[in-house]
Amino acid sequence: MASALARILKSEGVEVYTCLAGRSTKTVELAQYSGVNICPSSHQLADISDIVLAAVVPAQAVNVAKIIGKNFKGLYVDLNNVSPSTVKEALHQISNGKTVDAAIMGSVTRGESVPIIASGKYASDFAELNRLGMNIEVVGDEVGQASAVKMLRSVYTKGVSALLFESLYAAYQMKIDDLVLKYLAETEGPNFTELATSRIKNSIFHGERRTQEIGEVLNFLSEYEDPLMTQATFNFFRLIVDQVGPIEKKPDDYRELFRKFSEK
């Protein structure tokens, strides 16, 4: 994710640095591929940067902010996939207070136009990067809003994936899955079938990561209501991971996954 953004900024002539201490092999490879400059430490990175974009695994969001935060003079943007309360905790570590809550709303592989939303008093400073090929929309002046929009969208999209699986897995056993998809498409719109089958395949392929993400969403929602549906979505993804386990390749036909699921 970060390396794709780095490539966009580099192509616009921005000097991009990263620190690879303690990062995964995949992150190291992607950083080398994108050709960014490497800093030996996060402290040094903070010293020479005008803007820090933090994009790490959710569990490291607060730690990274602690390391950068003490003497950093620039703008700190949290791009991590974490809940509003974790964002607030992370941004609280940045002593100059120049912080932005941001969330990537699409796939980075689509290129320069990947939509990012941002909130907080300094979000418009971050949105200056739109002149350098980025696609940032300021959605509010409070930290937490951008992350919340992303999480609440995923309540819906991940829940829908689970509903589709539940409906079509029974339909598959009765050999009427084509019919159910057809009649759903009549109310849900012409792209429904393609989106639906891709969602079923992704549910299983990314099951492990989805389960973790929904766990984070569940904690967040519990502050506002009794999240009956999201609890079920979480249980569903956990069941999928337990029953099917990691799969190496996304199958062409969603029915292959149903077969696999029914065999366990």
Task: Give residues in contact with a copy of itself (CB under 8 A).
Answer: 105, 115, 117, 139-140, 145, 148-150, 152-153, 155-157, 159-160, 162-164, 166-171, 173-174, 176, 179-180, 183-184, 186-187, 189, 191, 221, 224-233, 235-236, 239
d(CA 76, CA 98): 6
Question: Are the C-beta atoms of residues 9 and 16 closer than 8 Å to each other?
Answer: yes
d(CA 118, CA 113): 15
CA distances in angstroms from 67 to 3, 75, 231, listed in the order given: 21, 15, 34
Report which secondary-structure segment, H or E, holds 14.
none
State the minimum distance, in angstroms, from the CB of residue 184 to a copy of itself.
6
* Nearer of residues 71 and 262 to a copy of itself, judged by Cβ: 262
Give the nearest distance from C-beta 143 to a copy of itself in angstroms.
12
Q: How far is the CB of 241 from a copy of itself (least distance, A)?
A: 14
Q: Which two tokens stand for residue 234?
A: 């979480």
Q: Which is nearer to a copy of itself, 184 or 241 (CB)?
A: 184
CB-CB contact of 126 with 104 (8 Å):
no
Nearest to a copy of itself of 7, 201 (CB atom): 201
Q: How far is the CB of 89 from a copy of itself (least distance, A)?
A: 17
168/115 Cα distance (integer angstroms): 31
> What whole-number distance in Å separates Cα of residue 156 and Cα of residue 159?
5
198: three-class secondary structure by DSSP: helix
Pick the closer one to a copy of itself by CB: 205 or 236: 236
Q: Quick check: 81 and 105 in contact, CB under 8 A?
A: no
Decide whether 15 or 166 has the Cβ nearer to a copy of itself: 166
Pick 49 or 145: Cβ nearer a copy of itself: 145
Least CB distance to a copy of itself at residue 114 (A): 12
DSSP annotation of 240 reads H
Find the shortest distance in angstroms from Cβ 24 to a copy of itself: 28
